[in-house]
Amino acid sequence: MMNHRLADGVEPDRVVTPTSDDEIADILRGKVASEWVLPVGGATAVTTGNAVDRVPTLMDLSGLSGILEYEPADLTVSVRAGTRWSELIAALGENGQTIPVDVPFSDSATVGGVVAAGWVGPRRLRDGTMKDLLIGASFVRGDGLMAKAGGMVVKNVSGFEIPRLLHGSYGSLAVITSVNLKVVPSHEAELTLRTGEMPLLDAIDSVLRLTREQPSIAAAVVDGDGAEGVIAIRLSGRRNPIRELADNIRASFNGPLLGESLDDVESATFWQRHGDGLATASDDRVTIEVGCGPADTSSIVRQIREQFDRDAGIGYSISPGTGSITLALAASTLSLAQWREFWQRSEIESKARFVVLDAPRAWRSGVQIWSVPESQRMLMTALKQQFDPQQRLNRGRLWDRAAEESVASSGRRL
Amino acid sequence: MLALNETGIQALTNATGMQILGFQLHTRLRVEKGMDRKAFLAELKNICGERGVLHEPADLIVYEYDGSVDGAVDTERPMAAVLPTSTEQVSAVVRLAWQHGVPVVARGAGTGLSGGAVARGGGIIIALTRMDRMLRVDPVNRTALVEPGVINLELSQSVHGDGMFFAPDPSSQKACTIGGNVAENSGGPHCLKYGVTTNHILGLEVVLPDGTVTWIDAHGPGVGGLDLAAILVGSEGMLGITTKILVRLMPNPEAVHVHLAAFGTMDDAAACVTNIIGAGILPASLEMMDQLTIEAVEPAYHAGYPMDAAAVLLVEVDGTRADVDETSDHIARIARESGATSFRSADSKAQQDLLWKGRKMALAAMGRLAPNYYLHDTVVPRTRLTETLRAVSDISHEFRLSIANVFHAGDGNLHPLMLFDRRQPGDVERILEASHELIKTCVSMGGTLSGEHGIGSEKQGYMELIYTGEDLAAMAGIKLAFDPREMFNPEKVLPKGYMCGEVRALHNQAMAQKHGIHPM
C-alpha cells in the first residue's frame, strides 16, 4: 500500500482522497495560487521526473475505484481510474479476458496510473501498448473542466484523440478519472523459453533474428550484465500452435540453448517478477530507458558498455524487437550531465532517445530530467496552458520546468 | 432531448443549403479584406512555380469537392490550390498565408467522405499529391519514411517483396494517400486485427500554422514529454500539415485463409459475428454484406457470393500455419452453429482475391442499383449489431429508401449506403432526414458518429449528440494550443461556437452554473 507520509521522499502538506470528479474539480480550482497537486494512483511511479522540494497537495485517487461498465461480448470495459490493476485483471479473467500488458506491482498500481505513466511492457512486441487499447477517458483538466472523449466503441474518429494524449502525460494536463479500454480474450496457453548465459551481444542478435522470423512471438528479452545475457521468449495463444512454435524456435537455435521452459502460471509469474524488478525504485540505482530502431540495438549496447561498464556494473534488460534498452546503473558512478555528455559525444543521439525512468532523489535534484526538442516544447507548453493554465498539476515535475523557462526566454511563438 | 433535436435540425438545414452559416462569411471577409489577391498569387508562384499554383475557376473545380455527397457537405471554391513538391515549399506557403491571414486546407487525393478537404470559407488548398516519394524503406526495422502524397496501396505493393505491408487499407486505397490516412486516422477491413492508422505511425514531420517545421516522434521507448503524434493523427488537418511520415510496416503473415459464410437472415449473420468475437477469435478481418449489396456486387464481379443469401460474412484469418488451420476450423463450427446456409473457403490466392474483390469494389458496384448513394460510418458496440441492423431496416421502410449494408462487422463499424437519385425532387432531402434518424439511432445504441471517415463538416452538427459542451471545450483547447488563429482547416469538426473566446466563456459559464462561483 501507498505510504501517504512520503511522496518521492517529501512529506506532502496535505493529502486529499476525492471520490468523485466534482470533488477533484473543486480541489483543482482551489483559491490559493501557490497550491499544486500531485495526483497519484498506486504511487508506483512517483520517482519519475524532476525532484520537487515540496508537495502542497497529494491527491490519492484510490477512492475512485470500481468497474463502471463491462460487457464481455463487446470486449470493452469502462473502469474508474483508482481501481487496482490486479482487480481489473481478475474481473476480466472471470470472463476469460484480459489486457495484454504486464504492469509492475499490479496489486498497488492503478488503471489510471498505468495510463498516465504510459507503462509499456515487453509484450509491446506483438500486442502493442495500452494506448492502442484506450478507446475513451473521462478527466478533469488542471483548470477544473470536467470532460470526456472517445466512447465505448472499438473504432472512433469523432473528434480529437484526447485519451491518447493523456496516455504517458503523467498527470500533467488532467486528472484521469475513468478509462474505457478494449480487452482481449485470454490465451488458452502460454509458454516461456529461457536460455542459459551467453555473450550479451550474441543474445541480442539471436533475439532480433528470431523475432523477425517469427512474428507470433509475444515478447523476447535479453537480461544480463555487460558480458553475459539470458534470453527469455514468451509465447501465448492456442496450446498446440504455440507448442509447435516452441519446437520450431528450439530447432532454429543452435547449441545448448532454450533448455528451460515455463508453462502457464509459472510463465506469467516469471514476467510479473521481471516487470517488478525493472520498476523497483532504489536509493542507489538509476534506471534509464533507451529507445532505438531494433537493428541498432546491439551497436548502441556495445557503445554504452564500452563507455561505462568497467565502473558502473550496468544491468541490462533489452527487448531487441522493439528497440528498447533498459539500463540500471549505480547512481554513484554517473551524473545526468555525464550521461548527456556521453550521449552527445558518442553520436548515439542521432539514432536513439532516452528517458530517465527512475533515480534517487538527490540524483534528480536541481536538473531537468527529461529533455524534449525546443519546437515540441512550445506545443507542449501551449497544451499545458490550455489544460492547466495555473499550473495546478504536477508543477515543475516533468517537462514543465524547462517549458516555463523556454517561454520566459523566447516569448510565445503564436 | 430538445437540445438533441435542435442540433439535428440545425445540421439538416446546413446540409441542404437552406441556411448559409454566418461564420463562413466571416472567414471570407478575413481573407479578402485589405489583401492584394494578385500579389498574393504571385508570391505563391514564386514559391511553388507557375505550374504549382492553380487559380483559374476551371482549374479549381475539382478542389471544390472531396468524396462526400454534395448536399451533405457544402462545396466551396478555394482562392487557389497550390501543389508543393517539398517541405520547404509547404512551409513557405504556410508562412505566407499566416502573414496574410489566409486559411489553409491540406488535401491528399480528395477521397475523404466528410468534407474534410473542402476549403470552407475560401482560403487556399495545399494539395500534397506531388510530394509522393518513398524516401526510405527499412526492411530490418520494418519501417518506411514516405511523403504524404504516397498512395496507400502503392506503399503496400512496393514493400511486398521485402515481406511487409502497411496495415490500414481503406476502400479507397487505390487512390487515397498516406497523408490523408494520417489526417483522418483511416481504417479499413484489416484494422480489426491490426488497428487503425494511428497504431502504425512512428513519427511525423509537421508544418505548424506559422510555417515552423518540426519532427515529432510518436511515443515509444525512450521518448518523453507529451505524445503530440497521438493527437496529430486523426486531427483532420486542423493542427498541422504532415510532410513526412515514418510508418510501421507489418510482416506478411505465414498463412492466410479467406472464408465466405452465407446466411438466410441478417440476424443470423450478425449473431455469428458476435459469436466469433465472443469466442475469443480475432480474425484479420470480418466483413458483412447484405442482400442488396450482393445483388449489386455479384453480377458485376462474379465473386461467388450466393445470390439467394440474406447476408454473407467474409472472414480472413492470418498467422502461423498451425494457428490459422485451427482458427479456421473453429470459425467454420461457429458459423454452422449460428445458422450459416453455406461455408466455403478459398483454396487459392486467386480465389481469395476474387472473394475480396466483391467487398473492396462494392461501392463501385452500387451504380447498378442507383445513380447516387450516401455512405454512413457510425459505430455501435458489437453486441448491439443485430438490433441496430433491424433499426436500419426500419428506417429504410419509414423513409422509402433502399439501404445497402456493407461493413466492418467485427468492429461494429456500420456502413449503411442510402441509395437515391439526385435528379428526383425531394430525394436529397429524404436521405438527409433518414441520415439524421440513422445517426440518432446508432448513438442511442451506445454508438458514435464515425469509425473511420471523420467528422469534417458533414457531421459537425451532430457532435453535440455525443459530447457535452465541456467535452467540446476540451477539444477546442487542443485546437487553440496548436492553431489559435484558426489558420488550418477552419470551421471543421467542432460545432459552431466552440472556438475563440467563446470556449473560455462557455467554460466559465458552466462552472458558474455548477458551483455558483465566478472563476478568475
- Domain membership flag for residue A369: no
- Domain membership flag for residue B264: yes
Residue A43, classed as helix, strand or coil, is coil
- Domain membership flag for residue A333: yes
One domain, residues B219 and B292: no
Give the pLDDT band (50/70/90) at residue A252: confident
Mean pLDDT to the nearest integer, B476-502: 88
pLDDT score for B387: 95
One domain, residues B288 and B205: no
Contact list, B459 vs chain A (CB under 8 Å) = 158
Answer with the residue of higher pLDDT: A371 or A202: A202
Give the pLDDT band (50/70/90) at residue B496: confident
Give the pLDDT band (50/70/90) at residue B121: confident
Mean pLDDT to the nearest integer, A362-385: 89
Q: Would the CB atoms of A74 and B187 count as touching at under 8 Å?
A: no
Q: What share of chain B is helix, strand, coil (3-state, %, to 5)?
A: 45, 20, 40
pLDDT score for A22: 96
pLDDT score for B34: 63
Statement: residue B433 has pLDDT above 90: yes
Q: Which residue has the cell 451533405?
A: B72
pLDDT one-digit tens code per residue, A280-339 = 878 889 999 999 999 999 999 999 998 886 655 889 999 999 999 999 988 988 899 999
Contact list, B219 vs chain A (CB under 8 Å) = 118, 131, 167-168
Contacts of A315 (CB under 8 A, 6+ apart): A223, A224, A225, A327, A328, A329
Residue B224 contacts A, CB cutoff 8 Å: yes
pLDDT score for B12: 29
Question: How many domains, in total, are found in chain B?
Answer: 3
Question: How many domains, in total, are found in chain A?
Answer: 4
Mean pLDDT to the nearest integer, A237-247: 91
pLDDT score for A33: 64
Q: Which of A278, A298, A331 is the last residue of a domain?
A: A278
Q: Distance from A60 to chain B by nearest Cα, in Å?
A: 23
Give the pLDDT band (50/70/90) at residue B17: very low
- Domain membership flag for residue B413: no
Question: Which one-letter amino acid corresponds to residue A230?
Answer: V
Residue B408 contacts A, CB cutoff 8 Å: yes
One domain, residues B312 and B356: yes
Q: Which domain holds residue B166?
A: 134-250
Q: Which of B127, B142, B158 is the last residue of a domain?
A: B127
pLDDT one-digit tens code per residue, B25-57 = 334 445 555 678 999 999 999 999 999 999 999
Q: Which residue has the cell 473457403?
A: B345
pLDDT score for B150: 98
Answer with the residue of higher pLDDT: A262 or B205: B205
Give the pLDDT band (50/70/90) at residue A370: confident
On average, the pLDDT of chain A sits at 90
Residue B169 contacts A, CB cutoff 8 Å: no
Asked if residue A192 lies in contact with residue A246, where contact means CB atoms within 8 angstroms, the answer is no
Q: Would the CB atoms of A161 and B231 count as touching at under 8 Å?
A: yes
- Domain membership flag for residue B221: yes
CATH of the domain at A356: 3.30.2130.10
Nearest partner of B356 among B266, B287, B413, B416, judged by Cα: B287
Beta strands in A322-372 (DSSP E): 324-330, 352-358
Q: Distance from A19 to chain B by nearest Cα, in Å?
A: 17
Contacts of B147 (CB under 8 A, 6+ apart): B128, B131, B132, B133, B134, B135, B179, B243, B244, B245
Residue A392, classed as helix, strand or coil, is coil
Mean pLDDT to the nearest integer, B403-424: 95
pLDDT score for A20: 97
**Dihedral pair phi/psi, residue A193, rounded to 5°:** -105, 135
One domain, residues A301 and A402: no
- Domain membership flag for residue A320: yes
pLDDT score for B466: 97
Give the pLDDT band (50/70/90) at residue A46: confident
Residue A162 contacts B, CB cutoff 8 Å: yes
Q: Distance from B199 to chain A by nearest Cα, in Å?
A: 6
Answer with the residue of higher pLDDT: B21 or A184: A184
- Cα separation, B261 vs A59, whole angstroms: 54
Asked if residue B105 lies in contact with residue B83, where contact means CB atoms within 8 angstroms, the answer is no
One domain, residues A209 and A126: no
Chain A, 252 to 311: residues with Cβ < 8 Å from chain B are: 289-295
pLDDT score for B7: 30
* Angle (deg, nearest 10), helices B87-100 and B37-48: 170
On average, the pLDDT of chain B sits at 89
Chain B, 327 to 346: residues with Cβ < 8 Å from chain A are: 327
pLDDT score for B3: 29
One domain, residues A301 and A247: no
Residue A210, classed as helix, strand or coil, is helix
b/e sequence A190-208, b meaning 16+ C-beta within 10 Å: bbbbbbeebebbebbebbb
Contacts of A381 (CB under 8 A, 6+ apart): A403, A404, A406, A407
Torsion angle (degrees, nearest 10) of CA A67, A62, A48, A53:
160
Torsion angle (degrees, nearest 10) of CA B383, B384, B390, B391:
180
- Cα separation, A260 vs A159, whole angstroms: 49
Asked if residue B317 lies in contact with residue B326, where contact means CB atoms within 8 angstroms, the answer is no
pLDDT score for B517: 41
The three cell numbers locating residue B246: 515514418
Q: Would the CB atoms of B143 and A132 count as touching at under 8 Å?
A: no
Asked if residue A155 lies in contact with residue B196, where contact means CB atoms within 8 angstroms, the answer is yes
Q: Which of A238, A263, A278 is the last residue of a domain?
A: A278
Conformation bin of residue A307: beta by default, left when phi > 0, alpha when psi is -120 to 50: alpha
Give percent above pLDDT 90 in chain A. 72
Which of A128, A145, A372 lies nearest to residue B199, judging by beta carbons?
A128
Q: Which domain holds residue A99?
A: 1-186
Q: Would the CB atoms of A322 and B221 count as touching at under 8 Å?
A: yes
Q: How far is CA A256 from CA A195, A211, B99, B338, in A?
A: 8, 19, 68, 49
Residue A321 DSSP class = G
Statement: residue B261 has pLDDT above 70: yes
Residue B253 DSSP class = P
Helices (H), B263-384: 266-278, 291-301, 321-337, 349-360, 362-365
Which of A165, A291, A379 lies nearest to residue B223, judging by beta carbons?
A291
Mean pLDDT to the nearest integer, A189-211: 94
